[in-house]
Structure 1
């Protein structure tokens, strides 16, 4: 049981777990998840971390078929600039391995921004904390569990 699943259980939110056989040769973890779960990519969200010019790390949650706009993320976070976080810092801060970073149950609570497109969905999928495991939940529950904000963060 991953910290992400434990958090969802502890908070008593309604969620579904989806497992699939992860292919280590896959070029994109998120697109692989969408394909193997037979779900449109707009419903499967990836979790990325960026570092602001203040050196703070922030979390961005966006559809796997879209690109993070670092300028928009920095603006949403009240900063001037953002760059992708160092992979070592991501793993140390979240407690998850790359490709399995969940927005839930991270070791350290970070400011979190969810792509505003999620607001239109009944449910969405995010990493369950390891490759091959996805949690399906409502965008509102994800917002509540991560203390996030819906923001325009994609181009």
Structure 2
């Protein structure tokens, strides 16, 4: 029976447990890799506090991790500036697993094969707790942004494109 208690644990969860970081998790069934906005809707959460993890490569060859709200788009110029790079680009999906140990749709900033410089969109500071991939498709972890910093050093930065103006419904 002891083995069953650990069946749901992901590498990210094991890292959090080892660091004695309090977190909650949500497991859910899904087909394929739903978008972050779909995950937020499935879980009944505000998409502004659900973050996606994006992995990029800079012109220098270095790799960087960015966490932004699921409904937002990463502004590559802002990301490059935050990372101190002239330019960055998203890595290809096929490069994600060998580089991080995670698949597209299940990439967590916690427990990657190597610790990369990590940047979190400044809007995370607006929330007591944020949610992001727990390291597997169908698994999300929730914790305080400061607690994330105890296992993954990161910097806050303005990382997203300007939102499109919303027009009131008529």
* TM-score between both structures, scaled by the size of structure 2: 0.87
Aligned residues: 153
Runs of 4+ residues over 3 Å off in structure 1 = none
The one of 74, 87, 90 aligned to 1:84: 90
Match of 2:44 in 1: 38
Q: 3-state SS of the aligned residue for 2:41?
A: helix
Name 2:23's counterpart in structure 1: 15
Aligned to 2:76: 70
SS for the counterpart of 1:135 is: strand
CA distance in 2, matches of 1:86, 1:57: 12
Residue among 44, 57, 76 paired with 1:51? 57
1 CA distance for matches of 2:33 and 2:87? Answer: 33
Consecutive unaligned residues in structure 2, runs of 5 or more: 1-8, 162-170
In the alignment, is the contact (CA less than 8 A) between 2:30 and 2:138 conserved in 1? Answer: yes
**Aligned counterpart, 2:138:** 132
RMSD over aligned Cα atoms: 1.1
Q: TM-score, normalised by structure 1?
A: 0.95
CA contact (8 A) 2:65 2:109 kept: yes
Q: Name the CA shift for 1:25/1:114 in 2 (closer, same or farther; >3 Å).
A: closer
